[in-house]
Structure 1
Amino acid sequence: MNASHSPASAVVFAYHSVGVRCIKTLLARGIQIKLVVSHQDNPAETIWFESVADLCREQGIPCITPDDPKAPELKAQVAEIAPDFIFSFYYRHMLPLDVLALAKRGAYNLHGSLLPKYRGRVPVNWAVLHGETETGATLHEMALKPDAGAIIAQTAVPILPDDTAYEVFGKLTVAAEQCLWSALPSLVAGDFKTLPNDLSAGSYFGGRKPEDGRINWQQTAQQVYNLHRAVAPPYPGAFTEQAGQRFVIGKARLFHGDAANLPTGLHVVDNVVLGVCGDGRALHIIELLMNDKVIAAQELAAHLSSAA
């Protein structure tokens, strides 16, 4: 605590499960949260994560959802609070430098990768897509560029070979909480050390659209499997169009049998649905969706043969 022993104050920009867990962590560490800035839920988005707005209602914390974090009214509101800290936990907009400058003891963001790798948007999905075997959470100083400030703390988690992005996100939510919990005492005491965030050694990725889930069966089975894992439900899912229909993979595993004598794409062999890839290997598709409903192997076989 500071010399007067009054609790450190914060304005928090937060959304998603990471936002919820990190707000709870600040409260548990005795940080006085004066204001939370969040987002309105998008009705077009599947909301599978926890609600920051609900948590704020439970805890009696003022919560606002402005459309634009650059609005002068928001800057004036933060300036009036004059917080010790500004934190951003999975808030989806870049915060303007003149707002960050209002935090007397610094502005910090929690990012869902081991920086400097996977700066930018949806870092968990990109890490799974690229076949990474670990990722994690990074607490860092906020700067003009996204995810570019000095690193305060990092916590790593494994990505197992069959983990989907959704499963990794669950681990990441815990890693974010651990990372913040361990860093807060030194942040409050003002005796923390930083690590360089060497952008030249890292990578930056933009957002992903549902169309990016389209399967290219000419790729290797591992590449197609990584795509499936990266966008598996509750994300929109990896999809393919065949026999005049769009199919979305719900669940799959790498197939360890031989599929080299089959052309690429969807097949039913011995009542098993296979997605055959360009390297002659395949995915065993455990759950396939057509028109948002699970389609049985026999029904798929009938579709494929009628279109042949």
Structure 2
Amino acid sequence: MRIVFAGTPEVAVPALQALLASRHTVIAVVTRPDAPAGRGRTLRPSPVAELAAEHGLEVLKPERVRDEDFLVRLRELAPDCCPVVAYGALLPQAALDIPPRGWVNLHFSVLPRWRGAAPVQHAVLAGDTATGATTFRIVRALDAGPVFATHTEPIGPTDTSGDLLGRLAVSGAQLLVETLDGIEEGRLEAIPQPEDGVTVAPKITVEDASIDWFDSAEKIDRLIRGCAPAPGAWTTFRGERFKINSALPSGADDLDPGSVEVTKRALRVGTADGSLVLGEVKAQGKKPMAAADWARGVSWTGDDRFGG
């Protein structure tokens, strides 16, 4: 099939690579406009745009997908199908109607669980033991289209959202290629999603990532892992924001919520029902470092605690 691929961030790159290596012909790529990046905040193309340019593909960067210039060009390209991975904008019906075999989205959950922008993060936050990837035909309703295929992936006790997304980007890329193969061969039919079991996964905000030390150690552990690498779980220390990038639950429950124990090798913080040994942390204005190394540079007082 002749396809136009739509995607933007790094997580979409494995899918484009897999499609370029497949029997399908990628005739163009749609991605979000160049965005400021780095300390200088200079405009840079998306990771998908960079890969497309390396392969000499036409790259479309519409400000709005409903812009007539973009729709005209997409009609001229006349793709059979448009696979999508993390493009970052809602598609109007005028765009959905162009490819005869539709727009096929790769979504990083087992639908209908976790429809929305942050499915992997919410799976970790909720304590799910497994997640996965789904290919489905895009309709106007959010992630509600009929499903072509699914892949499941276990969630380990130390998995972060970044860990999971990295694995799903690779396995999902293969699932997407297999889905397009099945569509082309006429052996794959999209099945409507069940009405039961729908959950929603909105974007995780910085406010959502705030740690409440009066929560359980398990819940805080899931928050830290679910918000890694972005937006990053955080608390406060001496009135300044303090990021916690990793931690491990400890069985000891001898500390009050937010209170600390500092040793030569570890920094432990109390929760509602146990404690956490902090791994990597990032103090305001500092680089990420091991919590024990950071703690050695602090002159501790009896009043010091996290979240106070």
Query: Structure 1 length normalisation: TM-score?
Result: 0.89
Q: Aligned pair 1:263/2:259, yes or no?
A: no
Which residue of structure 2 aligns with residue 296 of structure 1? 294
What per-residue deviation string (whole Å, max 9, x for no partner) do you get for residues 109-159 of structure 1?
111111110000111111111111111111001101111111001111111
Q: Aligned pair 1:192/2:196, yes or no?
A: no
CA distance in 2: counterparts of 1:45 and 1:138, whole angstroms = 33
4+ aligned runs moved over 6 Å, structure 1: none
Q: Aligned pair 1:112/2:108, yes or no?
A: yes
What per-residue deviation string (whole Å, max 9, x for no partner) do you get for residues 185-204 of structure 1?
21111231223312432211
Which residue of structure 2 aligns with residue 4 of structure 1? none
Query: What letter matches 1:278 in structure 2?
Result: A
Q: Aligned pair 1:82/2:78, yes or no?
A: yes
> Closer, same or farther in 2 for the Cα pair 1:45/1:13, shift >3 Å?
farther
CA RMSD of the aligned region, Å?
2.1
Q: Which moved more, 1:193-202 or 1:224-233?
A: 193-202
* Other structure's SS at 1:131 match: coil
CA distance in 2: counterparts of 1:169 and 1:305, whole angstroms = 41
Which residue of structure 2 aligns with residue 244 of structure 1? 239
Q: Aligned pair 1:285/2:283, yes or no?
A: no
Contact 1:117 1:201 in 2 (8 A): yes
Contact 1:141 1:150 in 2 (8 A): yes
Contact 2:66 2:94 in 1 (8 A): no
Deviation at residue 20 of structure 1 after TM alignment: 1.6
Query: What letter matches 2:89 in structure 1?
Result: H
Contact 2:246 2:279 in 1 (8 A): yes
Count how many residue pairs are aligned between Structure 1 and Structure 2. Answer: 294
Contact 1:17 1:173 in 2 (8 A): no
> Closer, same or farther in 2 for the Cα pair 1:221/1:44, shift >3 Å?
farther
The one of 222, 229, 244 aligned to 2:225: 229
* Other structure's SS at 1:296 match: helix
What per-residue deviation string (whole Å, max 9, x for no partner) do you get for residues 60-118 of structure 1?
11012222111111111111122111121111111111111110122211111111100
Which residue of structure 2 aligns with residue 160 of structure 1? 156
Q: Aligned pair 1:43/2:39, yes or no?
A: no
Which residue of structure 2 aligns with residue 56 of structure 1? 52
Contact 2:122 2:226 in 1 (8 A): yes
Contact 1:266 1:276 in 2 (8 A): yes
Q: Which moved more, 1:199-208 or 1:74-83?
A: 199-208
Contact 1:9 1:83 in 2 (8 A): yes
CA distance in 1: counterparts of 2:260 and 2:200, whole angstroms = 37
Which residue of structure 1 aligns with residue 146 of structure 2? 150
Structure 2 unpaired stretches of 5+? 40-45
CA distance in 1: counterparts of 2:302 and 2:58, whole angstroms = 60
Contact 1:157 1:175 in 2 (8 A): no
CA distance in 2: counterparts of 1:199 and 1:85, whole angstroms = 27
Q: Aligned pair 1:136/2:137, yes or no?
A: no
Which residue of structure 2 aligns with residue 181 of structure 1? 177
Which residue of structure 1 aligns with residue 270 of structure 2? 276
Query: What letter matches 1:220 in structure 2?
Result: S
Query: What letter matches 2:104 in structure 1?
Result: Y
Which residue of structure 2 aligns with residue 206 of structure 1? 202
> Closer, same or farther in 2 for the Cα pair 1:45/1:101, shift >3 Å?
farther
Contact 1:11 1:34 in 2 (8 A): yes
Deviation at residue 299 of structure 1 after TM alignment: 3.0
Q: Aligned pair 1:103/2:99, yes or no?
A: yes
* Other structure's SS at 1:146 match: coil
CA distance in 2: counterparts of 1:266 and 1:53, whole angstroms = 47
* Other structure's SS at 1:43 match: strand
Query: What letter matches 1:244 in structure 2?
Result: G
* Other structure's SS at 2:62 match: coil
Identity of aligned residues (%): 30
